[in-house]
Amino acid sequence: MTSQPQPDPASALGTAQALAEALNGVSARLDQVRHDSEQRDAAIDRYGRHSRRYILFDIVITVFLALGGFWVNSASHRADSATASAAAATASESALHAAQLSGCVSGNQERAGELALWTYLFDASKPTSKAQAEAVAKFMGLVRSTFAPRDCAGMYPGTAAKGGSGGTG
């Protein structure tokens, strides 16, 4: 076996010192990297906290806007419904008014026919005594008051029906 030559102690010490300096440099660089990494992590943490606040604020605003939009939409539907109901009520009221006036005018026409019939009947008959003439006159007064035309416009005031709606029809 051959023996290996022994290294020079001064050279070994120089190499060890160079290695120690290199390790000290690496250690300092690692400390700097760790420090920079911690600063970056702190900045990212602050950014994350701010981002979460803004996201939460955005969610709250979105919820309020959605609720506001729902409320406005609901109010709009209620207003449309009220407008439609009012229009229907106005149309119903107009139709009812027209029907009332038409019925009143028709009634006046019927009353005029009845009055003409009674007048014809009693005018055709000749009372033979003064008592009969008074009875016929009294009865005809009752017939005239019973079958007198109604004031349709006065009984059913409102918008005038088309085609006129006079009192006697």
Write the pLDDT tens digit of every residue in 44-76: 999 888 899 999 999 999 999 999 999 999 999
pTM score > 0.75 for this model? no
Q: Is residue 129 one of the residues assigned to a domain?
A: yes
Q: Rounded distance, CA 80 to CA 67, Å?
A: 20
Q: Is residue 94 one of the residues assigned to a domain?
A: yes
**Domain containing 148: what range?**
9-155
Position 1 confidence tier, pLDDT thresholds 50, 70, 90: low
- pLDDT above 70 covers a percentage of the chain that reads 92
Q: For residues 155 and 95, is the Cβ–Cβ distance under 8 A?
A: no
Q: Is residue 75 one of the residues assigned to a domain?
A: yes
What integer best gives the mean pLDDT of the chain?
Answer: 86
Q: Is residue 164 one of the residues assigned to a domain?
A: no
